[in-house]
Amino acid sequence: MKRKARPGSATSAPHPVEPTVVLSPSEQLRPLSENELDVLEQIGSHWAEVLRRDGGSLPAPPIDPAPGRYAKPVLPSRLGRFARVRMSKREAPEEAVAVGPAGPPRSRLGGALHTARRLMTGPPLRSSAVMEERMRKIVALPVLASDLLSSVAYGPQAMLTVLALGGSVALALSLPISVALIVLMVAVGTSYRQTIRAYPSGAGSYLVASDNLGPRAGLAAGAGLLTDYVLTVSVSIAAGIQAITSAIPSLAPYTVELGVLAIAILLAGNLRGVRQAGYLFAAPTYAFLVAMFALIGFGLAKSGAHGFAVTPPPAQTATEAVTLFLIVRAFASGATSMTGIEAVSNALPVMRPVEWRNGRTVLTVMVGLLVFLFAGLMILFHLGGIMPQAGETMLSQLARRTFGGGPAYAYVQITTALILLLAANTAFSDFPRLLFFMARDYYAPRLFLRMGDRLGFSNGIIVLAVAAASVFAVLGGRTEALIPLYAVGVFLAFTLSQAGMVVHWWRRRTEGWRRSMAINGLGATLSAVVALAAAVTKFTEGAWIVVFGIPLAVLVCLRIRRHYDLVGRALALHTLPSSARGRRFVPSPEAWGRPSQARRPAVGQEQEESPEEIDHLAVVAIARMDLASLHALAYAASLGQPVLAVHISPDADEATDFRRQWQRFGDPLPLEIVDSPYRAIVAPLVHYLEALHAHPAEVTLTVLLPEIVSRHLWTQVLHNQVAGRLRRALRPLPGVVVTTVPFHVRD
Amino acid sequence: MKRKARPGSATSAPHPVEPTVVLSPSEQLRPLSENELDVLEQIGSHWAEVLRRDGGSLPAPPIDPAPGRYAKPVLPSRLGRFARVRMSKREAPEEAVAVGPAGPPRSRLGGALHTARRLMTGPPLRSSAVMEERMRKIVALPVLASDLLSSVAYGPQAMLTVLALGGSVALALSLPISVALIVLMVAVGTSYRQTIRAYPSGAGSYLVASDNLGPRAGLAAGAGLLTDYVLTVSVSIAAGIQAITSAIPSLAPYTVELGVLAIAILLAGNLRGVRQAGYLFAAPTYAFLVAMFALIGFGLAKSGAHGFAVTPPPAQTATEAVTLFLIVRAFASGATSMTGIEAVSNALPVMRPVEWRNGRTVLTVMVGLLVFLFAGLMILFHLGGIMPQAGETMLSQLARRTFGGGPAYAYVQITTALILLLAANTAFSDFPRLLFFMARDYYAPRLFLRMGDRLGFSNGIIVLAVAAASVFAVLGGRTEALIPLYAVGVFLAFTLSQAGMVVHWWRRRTEGWRRSMAINGLGATLSAVVALAAAVTKFTEGAWIVVFGIPLAVLVCLRIRRHYDLVGRALALHTLPSSARGRRFVPSPEAWGRPSQARRPAVGQEQEESPEEIDHLAVVAIARMDLASLHALAYAASLGQPVLAVHISPDADEATDFRRQWQRFGDPLPLEIVDSPYRAIVAPLVHYLEALHAHPAEVTLTVLLPEIVSRHLWTQVLHNQVAGRLRRALRPLPGVVVTTVPFHVRD
């Protein structure tokens, strides 16, 4: 397994380094291509001509847009939160800068919520506070190993639970299966060592599989890992709670509540951002290792004192025949002991240089520890005749047997629970990061690119917490119900990642590629066998959810990508045919109804239009002649564009009344009344506007909706919700712009 | 009790008739006062001067606003529903009419929902289809009596359930308490006869109490009745299901499901509008009466054959001492037998003329029937030694004992269930009507004035169904848990209504007022005693919800009224001080920062503004330079008003990039970049706009938000939700108008 250090490869990676991933808040904005910039320039020069800005056809802003010159204290409104903006004086005298984070709204409820949020997450951090914390090996090991090592708290038990179904005969197979699992651990570990060498800047399964096997394989690995992270949280919390309820059985009925509470605490901690506490996180892992070493040492010593006599386990009644199926199922369940082995390859950027070398060392130590713990526990379970039983974990039984019920026993249980909590916590940094990578490639909603107040990807954190808590609650926090879902996704990701490495070595053929390819090939094959075994043998127990879920997730990701590509193309700047330029539709009553010669954009899609090409009609929807309506009418009339008032009347008498009022008003603007004998308001108005819009003259309709705004949320329900409904109904209409003219009521 | 027919009073009411309530869809619009119309005229003449519409400062609409002339088939959009609009040719050649109800949207899901809704409720009805159906006495009796008569299915049992707590000693008191209840029935019935005479156009407790005792008493009666209607549905459905499960005990575990299903069926039926089926509704009541007469007749005959020997009830172990408290509690429980006695007085407008006279006849017959049924059942219960027992109602026990388990027994159970369903159904017309009256007086949200597609008040119907189903489900559909909540609200409403009548007679002092006042006074006193008794003795069993709920509801109603009054005043048209006229702020860079001399409206409230008084600045919020942003910029520029582009930049590099792009664009419009180091977008933009708005020059800011609109709902989550959040954040700012410029993507 040891590779000779070659000259020149000590400080630099053996292959071209991928650029280190920069997590920047501007990642959310797609940059403009050089071609688009050219088009922008062309469009701009046309606009300049049209607008003759200096000549003066468009008036200059009536007020100075730089607020610094007259800034006076502005108080936040009752409902809104805002961040203070000041002119930045030194760097860019013309630029405004938000000098603080968003403050609380002035309403009492809003303020309380704001305070609660601040207390939970702390004050927002500036983008410039993003920093890469590099970890020494002694710190990296416990932080990265927690997920892997904590798996021995449930993996062996999951395996023996299956075997017990076959009765005492099947139990005799536990040691051979354990040996097979240890071979698997070493093989996969070695395989990941190769990956680390090839991808020194971080080698998540999603990246490696995408890079070498194409986007579909990458997405499958990504989807597998996402389910894995959700289940890591659920399973680890479930096992942690089990460690506690094994010691204190009276807490058992509150398993679901305790689990959801634990997830809520992890959520709060991660929203706050616990990265800086990395050193603190080292403690539970070392404490757990101490507990395990003590347990295995004392246990073996105690057993040695009795000449390693095997206590026969309580007689098991076989409920299933000992078939190959049962054995494979037990093997697949036991394989959950090695979940988390991929942690180092994901986290290389947080290692100190030389990252890949340190990473390999950490990985080797981790796998060594895993093999030791797994083997030690399996031997002790065998010697002690310990079997899975309801209400107490096997680890708890072993500890109780070895140490009695005293403080040493309590120490084992507490450290087990702590490392499991820590393992769940690692998923809270991996899951959002993976979603970030997927969103950056347009395979996941862009909102996962957004950095929260504390520079974490809060959207991903929240999604993980909700998903894990739901899975946990639905399955009642029972580890045995969660395990079948677990293995498939993990080993699928392992398989794809290592198969990707095989392709990688095949393509590059750098020095020693044959050996690396062979190692990765073995790892991929073994992982594939486990994934397949898990999918088949646990299909009916819940694995079907993952088996069908992952392809579905891949499809959804591809659809998301397709949508973003489509939007990207639709939004990309491109030149218009020159024939479209210079047209101007001159409205005249005679021209009504005659088709215009002008270019007509495809229905359903706006094209870039030059300002002079837009003909306006402002349509003001009026229910009754009150100040709010007059305000909207005045606003419309003051724009200097043609105005049309529309009234939807529920019956003929009301229509007559309204027309009379309008005449009394002096008929200053054209009015159209639409009778609506079925009392609907939105539907006839929408059709009327569509009918207007069907006119060939291609007019942009600006629909103005007077809206009463009151200061309290509860009073909003007292007013007609028509404005909101109209806005939603008018949204899909091309060429219709909706403007809400608020009328504020002080209440 | 009989009153001599006085000449002249046979066809006309003895007192000035209140105008009959017209249920019109235009009720939702507050009419304009004469003073407001004057103001409207003044404002209009000023506007005409300003706009010089004929002279031409404001261009005429570029297209004909009457769509009839060029109407071509317009298809509904994917997401919107619309109603076809055609020019009405005959009546008003200049008016458009929606010729059909709203059609289905084109999306598959929307279409399916639309079809499901149509299947459930039938096609929408024209407003002109509102019609008053008048009922003959023979039809009115069963329809109005169902609520009252069905009460004997649960009232006696509720009373005996309480008495049984006191053991056999207490049970001996059942007959004396029954006599007291019969006295109460006759007294309240007689009292309502007075009310009917005085309010021949409908005498709901809310109206009578408001009219005579003031709005607070009216609201208390209204709130009492609203809870009563909700509980009528819950209790009647619970008792109906009990009648069924008594016959078929295997259905008992599905009580909640069956009850919610029954409420759902009532909801669907009432949304569809079942008024036309009035005659159909007569059947169950008569069928129930037949069943009861047969039961009582056979039962008495059978008992007579045995010389009216009293079968002693199974020995009851007393769990409570026989105190006055227990007796009063039993009395209050038994009083639920007379809920629904107010039905006639509410429903007078549906009677044939002479309404009040026919109403009185119907009421007298109803009360007579009630007394007969109640007395008959109580005697039979006593003779047969029938006691409340779990799993079978007393009525079912009696019927089983009298008829055996054969078809006659089944008939009793089926008709009991049917009349109870019918009783629940009456609440579905009373509850929305009461809410309509309260909303018309501005004590309830105006949305309860809205007539649905089928001319029913669908909002009220839905609220009732949801409330009743919730109460039913929370209390597990157990009649005995619902009863304690029931009596308080009903008898409070009775008390207030009859106390109102006392005041009425005292004020009017028409012929025979002393006698009428005495009768109503007695009714009010007895009702008050029952209400008080119920509130005190059942307080801990659930009555506290009603005791605290009703005052709370009154407070909420008063707050609602206050809010509507405030909005009404704010919206009312009023003249502005003439000094405000003629001002025009001329923007110039030199004037920046200097306070304007112009009138400044109170912050938080727009005043009517004349078009020439509004100075514009269009602020376009831009994230990146794509077609959607250019479209919004072009729209803004084409308005001919000053434009300012604003970009919120998450970091300094991005700001530099953006400025470079803008320069490449040719800098055709002023641009302001706001640095947001905390990555917030909404908060700094809101503060920037507030800062701009704090400028003394009083400029109306139109904030233009480019928004990507895709055709599918699921893809909307893939885009930034910033536009929506900005719209909500900007809503409270006075003088800020928000315009969404959609950019449609075909996907």
CA distance B291 to B297: 10
Residue B23: pLDDT band with limits 50, 70, 90: low
**Contact check, Cβ <8 Å, B674/A453:** no
Q: Is A98 helix (H, G, I), strand (E, B) or coil?
A: strand
Q: Are the Cβ atoms of A661 and B32 closer than 8 angstroms?
A: yes
What pLDDT score does A476 carry? Answer: 86
In the block, tokens 């000053």 appear at B642
Residue B101 neighbours by CB distance under 10 Å: 21
Q: Which residues 237-266 of A are in CB contact (within 8 Å) with B?
A: none
Residues of A in contact with B43 (CB under 8 A): 630, 665
Please work out, in degrees rounded to the nearest 5, the angle formed at the alpha carbon of residue B694 by the alpha carbons of B693 and B695. 85
- The minimum CA-CA distance between B223 and chain A, rounded to whole Å, is 18
For residue B730, which residues of chain A lie inside 8 Å, CB to CB? Answer: 80
Tell which wins on pLDDT, B429 or B577.
B429
Kindly determine whether residue B625 and residue A26, on different chains, have CB atoms separated by under 8 Å. Answer: no
Q: Which residues contact B134 (CB under 8 A, 6 or more apart)?
A: B350, B351, B352, B353
Query: In the structure, what pLDDT confidence band is assigned to residue B444 with cuts at 50, 70 and 90?
Result: very high
Q: Is B717 on the interface with A (CB under 8 A)?
A: yes
C-beta separation of A311 from A445 below 8 A: no
A699-710 and A736-745: which strand pairing?
Answer: parallel
How far apart CA B622 and CA B633 sit, in angstroms, is: 9
Residues of chain A with confidence (pLDDT) below 50: 1-21, 53-56, 69-73, 75-82, 87-91, 93, 577-605
> Is A711 close to B691, i.e. CB distance below 8 A?
no
Residues 6..25 of A with a Cβ closer than 8 Å to B: which?
24-25
Q: How far apart are the first and last CA of chain B?
A: 77
Contact in structure between A92 and A68 (CB atoms under 8 Å)? no
- Nearest neighbour of B679 by CB, restricted to A32, A127, A730: A127
Best residue in A627, A664, A704 to probe B by mutation, most B CBs within 10 Å? A627
8 Å CB contact of B687 and A83: yes
**pLDDT, tens digit (0-9, with 9 covering 90-100), for B151-172:** 999 999 999 999 888 887 888 8
Confidence of residue B548 (pLDDT cuts 50, 70, 90): very high
Structural element, H or E, at residue B278: helix B278-305
* Complete DSSP assignment for B508-529: H--TTHHHHHHHHHHHHHHHHH
| B726 neighbourhood in chain A, CB within 8 Å | none
C-alpha to C-alpha distance for A187 and A704, rounded to whole angstroms:
68
**Closest to B499 measured CA to CA, from B218, B727, B690, B697:** B218
pLDDT per position as a tens digit, B629-688: 888 998 998 888 888 999 988 777 888 889 888 988 888 888 888 888 777 788 888 888
Burial group, residue B1, by CB count within 10 angstroms (0-12, 13-18, 19+): exposed
Of all residues in chain A, the one with the smallest CA distance to B80 is A729
Q: Say yes or no for a CB contact (<8 Å) between B747 and A567.
A: yes
Which residues, including other chains, have CB under 8 Å from residue B390's CB and lie 6 or more apart? none
For residues B146 and B281, the answer to whether their CB atoms sit within 8 Å is yes
For B600-658, the DSSP string reads -PPTT------GGG-EEEEEEE-SS-SHHHHHHHHHHHHTTS-EEEEEEESSHHHHHHH
Cβ-defined contact of B683 to A737 (cutoff 8 Å): no
Q: Give me the pLDDT at residue A274, please.
A: 52
- pLDDT at position B586: 33
Residues of chain A with C-beta less than 8 angstroms from the C-beta of B618: none
> Is B122 part of the contact surface with chain A (CB cutoff 8 Å)?
no
How far is C-alpha A238 from the chain's CA centre? 23
CB contact under 8 A, B690 and A77: yes
ipTM of the complex: 0.80
Question: Is residue B460 within 8 Å of B435, Cβ to Cβ?
Answer: yes
Select the residue of A691, A729, A737 nearest B80 (Cβ to Cβ): A729
Given an 8 Å threshold on Cβ–Cβ distance, is B687 in contact with A84?
Answer: yes
- Are B630 and A43 within 8 A, CB to CB? yes
Is the Cβ pair A744, B727 closer than 8 Å? Answer: no
Lowest mean pLDDT among A46-60, B185-199, B460-474: A46-60
The predicted pLDDT at position B68 comes to: 53
**Alpha-carbon gap: B122 to the closest alpha carbon of chain A (Å):** 13
Of A614, A643, A730, the CB nearest to B634: A614
Instruction: Find, in chain B, the residue whose alpha carbon is nearest to that of A730.
Output: B80
Q: Which residue of B99, B458, B571 is the best one to mutate when testing the A interface, meaning the one whose CB has the most A CBs within 10 A? A: B571
Beta bridge partners of A419: none
Nearest-CA distance from A422 to chain B in Å?
29
For residue A97, list its beta bridge partners.
A86, B675
pLDDT of residue A69: 45
| Residue A637 near residue A669 (C-beta atoms within 8 A) | yes
DSSP, res B566 = H
Are residues A41 and B664, on separate chains, in Cβ contact within 8 Å? yes
Higher-pLDDT residue of A398 and B601 is A398
Distance, in Å, from the CA atom of B419 to the CA atom of B417, rounded to the nearest integer, reads: 6
Question: What pLDDT score was predicted for residue B237?
Answer: 94
Nearest-Cα distance to chain B for A659, in Å, is: 10
Contacts of B304 (CB under 8 A, 6+ apart): none
Are B453 and B125 in contact, with CB atoms under 8 Å apart? yes
Contact A53, B669 (CB under 8 A): yes
Q: What is the pLDDT of residues B349-373, one digit of tens each?
A: 777 878 888 889 999 999 999 999 9
Residue A60 and residue A396: Cα distance in Å, rounded?
77
Q: Which residues of A touch B564 (CB under 8 A)?
A: 718
pTM (two decimals): 0.78
Residue type, position B364, single letter: T
Please enumerate in sequence order all residues whose Cβ is within 8 A of that of A524, keeping only pairs 6 or more positions apart, or say none. Answer: A191, A494, A495, A498, A499, A501, A502
Q: What is the pLDDT of residue B528?
A: 93
Beta partners for residue A738, in sequence order: A703, B740
pLDDT digits (tens, 9 = 90+) for A114-130: 787 777 777 777 776 66
A607-646 residues touching B, CB cutoff 8 A: 607-617, 623-628, 630-631, 633-635, 637-644, 646
Q: Which among B607, B676, B737 is the nearest to A635, CB-wise?
A: B737
Contact (CB, 8 A) for A96 and A66? yes
| pLDDT greater than 50 at residue B420 | yes
∠ CA A677-A681-A684, rounded to 5°: 75
β-bridge pairing A671-675 and A736-745 = unpaired
Q: Do A573 and B59 touch (CB under 8 A)?
A: no
- A45 interfacial to chain B (CB closer than 8 Å): yes
Contact yes or no for B74 and A686 at CB 8 A: no
Query: Over pLDDT 90: what percentage of chain B?
Result: 27
Give the C-alpha distances (Å, rounded to integers) separating A523 from A190, A193, A394, A491: 8, 11, 30, 10
| Residue A450 pLDDT | 81
Partner B contacted by A708 (CB < 8 A): yes
Q: Which of B69, B668, B737 sits opposite A47 (nearest CB)?
A: B668
Best residue of A678, A686, A711, A731 to probe chain B, by most B CBs closer than 10 Å: A678
Cβ separation of A40 and B661 shorter than 8 Å? yes
Longest dimension (CA), chain A: 111
**The residue to which tokens 């109870």 are assigned:** B420
Biggest CA–CA distance in chain B, Å, is: 111
Q: What would the two tokens of residue A185 be?
A: 């651990």
Q: Please give the DSSP secondary-structure letter assigned to residue B457.
A: -
Which carries the bigger pLDDT value, residue A85 or residue B188? B188
Contacting residues of A for B446, CB less than 8 Å apart? 718-720
| Residues of chain B contacting A633 with CB distance shorter than 8 Å | 611
Helix (H, G, I), strand (E, B) or coil at B557: helix
How far apart CA B745 and CA A571 sit, in angstroms, is 9
Chain B residue with minimum CA distance to A82: B683
The Cα B616–Cα A641 span in angstroms is 13
Q: Classify A1 as helix, strand or coil.
A: coil
CA distance B61 to A152: 77
Interface contact B85-A691, CB threshold 8 A:
yes
Residue contact B61–A617, C-beta within 8 A: yes
From CA B336, how far away is CA B314, in angstroms rounded? 25
User: Residue B322 in contact with residue B150, Cβ under 8 Å?
Assistant: no
**In the A/B pair of chains, how many CB contacts fall below 8 A?**
596
Q: Give B30-87 pLDDT, tens digit per residue.
A: 778 888 888 888 888 888 777 764 444 667 777 666 655 444 445 444 444 445 555 4
Chain A: residue whose CA lies nearest to B70:
A593
Answer whether A528's CB lies under 8 Å from A495's CB.
Answer: yes
> Where do the DSSP E strands lie in A36-181?
85-87, 96-98
A679 interfaces chain B, CB cutoff of 8 Å: yes
pLDDT for A133: 60
Whether the per-residue pLDDT at B293 is higher than 90: the answer is yes
How many angstroms separate the CA atoms of A702 and A714, rounded?
30
3-state class (DSSP) for residue A646 = strand
